[in-house]
Amino acid sequence: MSKLPIRTVEKPWGKDVLPAPFVAPLDKRIGEIWFEPPAEVPSLLVKYIFTSEKLSVQVHPSDEQAAASGETEATGYGGKEECWLVIDAEPGATLGVGFAGHVDAETMRAAALDGSIEDMLVWHPVGPGDFFYIPANTVHAIGAGVSLIEIQQNSDITYRLYDYGRPRELHLDKGIAVSRGEPLDPALRRHVPERGTVELASGRYFTAHRVDGLPDETLRAAYAGPLLVIPREGEVRLGDEVLRPGDCASAPGIAALTLPADGRYILVKAA
């Protein structure tokens, strides 16, 4: 287990100036940085996402829905739940998550076709430290001027409902069939304090903590098995490897890591 290989993904909606420690290559717009899932934790994927334009209004199915529709057999992927931790945001940056009120399937389809679905979402103003958990079936979109860490089920099934007139395929039948036309549960979004150790997510598929300094015995017990570590401040050591902000690594357990007493990092494990 070691530092994970990085895949840098160019996107037309990406950014040519990235938050530290990342640097975009000259004349490249980087939208995503992926860390290849390791064999020890294959069900999880960690990304950084950087936006200069709004991303499509989209939705993901659950595992059960992906299997029932034949997607899992056809693609090898299941459903997707994910969470976002904002690390940088330009003034006025927003994330669209859930609807302002109840929306039935017929209304949602019409709104996707005429573009008004964008205005039906709740666009949350965001800044560094804002956190959202996005269950499967939640209609969502990432706005412009946002940089965030995404922790997700390792799945690539995305149904686009609206894409601002861009020439990409939409998936209205599949997307409307799995979309939940309701507001996001307020308990699934919050602001993470600048300092201190906090639980980010604890769900069916993964658990994640943002840890400030050394972990207590409860965290050490919780992360005794295979995990991912994402340094945010300071250095994490895994054997002879030094992990710095911008890296992500897999480890057989927290005991294999030398963690910084004055640093900060995210721990993630499959549920």
CB 22 within 8 A of CB 14: no
Closest alpha carbon to 85 in 95, 73, 99: 95
> One of 160, 189, 210, 264 is an active-site residue; which one?
160
Which neighbouring-strand residues pair with 121?
A: 99
Question: Which residues have CB under 8 Å from 77's CB, separation 6+?
Answer: 66, 71, 154, 155, 156, 157
Structure tokens at 49: 């996402």
Q: Is 244 a catalytic residue?
A: no
DSSP state of 180: B
Tell me how far apart the alpha carbons of residues 33 and 28 are, in angstroms, rounded to a whole number: 13
Phi, psi torsion values for 53, nearest 5 degrees = -140, 165
Active site residues: 160
